[in-house]
Amino acid sequence: MNKVDAEKRIKELRDLVEYHAKRYYDDDEPEISDFEYDMLMNELKNLEKQFPELITKDSMTQKVGGHVKEGFKEVTHEVPLQSLQDVFSIEELIEFDKRVRKQLTDNTKLNYVVETKIDGLSVALEYVDGEFVRGATRGNGLIGEDVTENLKTIKNIPKKLTEKVNIIVRGEVFIGTEEFEKMNEEREVLGETLFANARNAAAGSLRQLDSKITAKRPLNIFIFNVQRLEGNTFNSHYQQLEYLKKLGFNVNPVHDYCTNIEDAIKSINKIGENRDKLSFGIDGAVIKVDELDLREKLGVTAKTPRWAIAYKYPPEQKQTILKDIICQVGRTGAITPMAILEPVRVAGSTISKTTLHNEDFVKEKELRIGDTVIIQKAGDVIPEVVSVVKEKRTGNEIEFSMPTVCPVCGAPAVREQGESALRCTGIECPAKALRSLVHFASKVGMDIDGLGYSIIEQLIEKELISNIADIYALKLEDIASLKKNGTKFAQNLIDAINESKNNDLSKLITALGIRHVGSKLAKILARKYKTMDNLMNAEFEELSAQDDIGDIIAASIYEFFRQDQTIDLINKLKQANVNMNSLEEDSGDKRFEGMTFVLTGSLDNYTRDEASEIIEKFGGKTSGSVSKKTTYVLAGEEAGSKLTKAQELGVAIITEQEFNNMIQ
């Protein structure tokens, strides 16, 4: 490659690496795999090595990724938290050893320590007289974020050490593999966005402005380095790690002492063979010179130490047979195709099945039952189908098509326009039971205080409930059995369940979880139809004629109430004396009919919801955005961009007092 082409490619790579580094380090929302990012960075490093005159200070090869998030105080690291140079082959490890030895005299005794490279967020912890005083993220290596209060919520970080020492240590905050899967399962049930991987889940959890949120996340930490130790008498990194254990730190459990590079490579290979057995994610292994005085001689570059290097394991790929494609139903009702594979060993574990995500993925990869496929472990954790070996096709392969009904409950399966997932529409589908129950009891639903995710999960496990109607058949002794001395809790929950029977029809409509029907539309439907029976009997044409309901929403409501499962559930709820009528009195006063209000800022006498209810009671509508069709913008204290937009468009702006005058 000539210099002109190299300069052009370097610019492209820098832009790509900078963008993906921001998504990874700052936003905690990566768009590509670690391996893909490493390959971009490696190409950039090789080009800069070939054309050193094109290296600039702002290149990601010359600096540590990450910036201080708004809302956190800055912390200047007394000892910089550097990153490591990555290598991808055994030859490069041998080259590293030669490079180190070249800088030292030939007869220098040199030892290494090999450690797992934990896939998490790097932090520095500072202790004064043995007490934890401050903790900070790595940030850009020189300046990080003060996350002391968040770190205090991590149980494995000692608040007080066994000795009164002044010390700064470096560690990696992470979430274990099982804990990560459990956390994502719960987020799926609650309808929250899933974390892409455990590393970003850990980073996002630690970088919360509210430490109460951090405390709810299953964060852990391994300490792997002494940054500064007052009165240090050690010349061995390995001995320092053993000392850190005595102080009470949770030290990286994998740290092998090696007397030469050959032993270090054996250790790395052993970690690679057993990495699927670890309870935490790793993104490689690290070799460090053990002797601290030799580290001083070797020194550091602007970004990386010369005495350490990180080995990244390549994704291992294998060929196998796609024996079948079956469909599984997730807790949200998403119907996902699953590949059944001829068992094959990949990256240390036997793979016999893997997700195929959705119908589009199957079509994009042109997968057929009977195909020979290439699989690998994405990020060394999740098995995935990479491609089809088309030249091995025999003509006997079978094309796959998604089902038209749910394979679990037989309800219609639908894929709506603009969505990639096929979904079960059954309200009583066993696969969706946890999600349906959690939503039904939630604050936006029937608001059953005390009936949250963990309690519902326990009730399902003990086979005390399996569907929504079962909630109203629960007995005091059923609930009391969930907790030690749980009688008081059980009575409170029984009272909350009974109280929910008196909710307005709009709460029940919301709680049913009809696709596209939220609390706002549920109120409109309750006002319009007055009773559940009227809504259930509404025809499609009648529903779609409503101003707030288009064809897609109308079809969703109409089809939902035509299902046997829905009719069965409503009948059971009627038998349990759950209210099926609108409790809102119709004054007949439609003074705001045809008007659209937008609320902005804080009001003195109303919450946003209360003001919206008043507007809707008088026949008006509320919207979240200002447009030329907006009738009024109700502006409270600290009104923001919506007020500015209203002024630009010439929309009428009213104060809370003027609003009071309008409703009196």
Tens of pLDDT, residues 207-233: 888 888 888 899 999 999 999 999 989
pLDDT tens digits, one per residue of 314-348: 777 889 999 999 999 987 788 999 999 999 887 66
Helix or strand run (H / E) with residue 343: strand 334-346
Question: Is residue 482 assigned to a domain?
Answer: yes
Beta-sheet strands, E only, within 139-242 = 143-145, 167-175, 219-229
Confidence check: pLDDT of 65 > 70: no
Question: Is residue 69 assigned to a domain?
Answer: no
Confidence check: pLDDT of 27 > 80: no
| CA angle centred on 255, ends 231 and 163, rounded to 5° | 30
CA 286 to chain centroid, in Å, comes to 27
pLDDT tens digits, one per residue of 262-280: 999 999 999 988 887 888 9
Question: Is residue 19 assigned to a domain?
Answer: yes
Residue 513 shares a structural domain with residue 382: no
Question: Is residue 509 assigned to a domain?
Answer: yes
What is the secondary structure of 619-653 as a DSSP string? T-EEESS--TT--EEEE-BT--HHHHHHHHHT-EE
Question: Is residue 492 assigned to a domain?
Answer: yes
CATH of the domain at 124: 3.30.470.30
pLDDT tens digits, one per residue of 419-476: 788 999 898 899 889 889 999 999 989 999 999 988 999 999 999 999 999 999 999 9
CATH of the domain at 491: 1.10.150.20
Residue 373 shares a structural domain with residue 452: no
Residue 173 shares a structural domain with residue 260: yes
Mean pLDDT, the chain, whole residue set: 88
- Residue 106, pLDDT score: 63
Residue 92 shares a structural domain with residue 169: yes
CATH of the domain at 14: 1.10.287.610
**Number of compact structural domains in the chain:** 5
Domain that holds residue 22: 3-54
Question: Is residue 420 assigned to a domain?
Answer: no
Residue among 49, 73, 117, 574 flagged as catalytic:
117
Residue finishing a domain among 293, 311, 329: 311
**Distance (Å, whole) CA 413 – CA 54:** 56
Query: Which comes out higher in pLDDT, residue 4 or 405?
Result: 405
- Residue 485, pLDDT score: 81
Residue 188 shares a structural domain with residue 336: no
Query: Which comes out higher in pLDDT, residue 118 or 200?
Result: 118
- Residue 348, pLDDT score: 62
Confidence check: pLDDT of 379 > 70: no
Helix or strand run (H / E) with residue 267: helix 261-274
CA nearest 119: which of 382, 374, 300?
382
CATH of the domain at 352: 2.40.50.140
Residue finishing a domain among 517, 542, 575: 575
Residue 245 shares a structural domain with residue 285: yes
Sheet holding 308-311, edge to edge: 86-87, 308-311, 282-289, 112-118, 255-258
Residue 141 shares a structural domain with residue 223: yes
Reply yes or no on whether 628 is catalytic: no
Question: Is residue 329 assigned to a domain?
Answer: yes
Q: Catalogue the long-range contacts made by 446-449 (C-beta closer than 8 Å, 24 or more residues apart).
A: 446/500, 446/503, 446/507, 446/508, 446/511, 447/500, 447/503, 447/507, 448/493, 448/496, 448/497, 448/500, 449/492, 449/493, 449/496
Model confidence at 562, in pLDDT bands (50, 70, 90)? very high
Residue 42 shares a structural domain with residue 142: no
How much is the pTM? 0.62
Question: Is residue 415 assigned to a domain?
Answer: no
Model confidence at 588, in pLDDT bands (50, 70, 90)? confident
Query: Which comes out higher in pLDDT, residue 4 or 119?
Result: 119
Q: Across-strand partners of 145?
A: 74
Tokens coding 158: 């000692």
Q: Which of 13-27, 503-517, 586-600 has the lowest mean pLDDT?
A: 13-27
pLDDT tens digits, one per residue of 392-407: 999 999 999 999 999 9
Q: Which of 170-184, 190-204, 269-283 has the lowest mean pLDDT?
A: 190-204
- Distances in whole angstroms, Cα of residue 652 to Cα of each of 343, 586, 595, 632, 643: 68, 28, 12, 5, 10
Residue 304 shares a structural domain with residue 269: yes
Residue finishing a domain among 276, 311, 346: 311
CATH of the domain at 621: 3.40.50.10190
pLDDT tens digits, one per residue of 123-160: 999 999 999 999 999 988 899 999 999 999 999 999 99
Query: Which comes out higher in pLDDT, residue 50 or 225?
Result: 225
Residue 367 shares a structural domain with residue 234: no
Torsion of Cα atoms, 290 then 90 then 197 then 22, to 10°: 80
Q: What percentage of the chain reaches a pLDDT higher than 70?
A: 95
Confidence check: pLDDT of 34 > 70: no
Residue 149 shares a structural domain with residue 172: yes
Residue 202 shares a structural domain with residue 104: yes
Confidence check: pLDDT of 29 > 60: yes
Confidence check: pLDDT of 359 > 70: yes
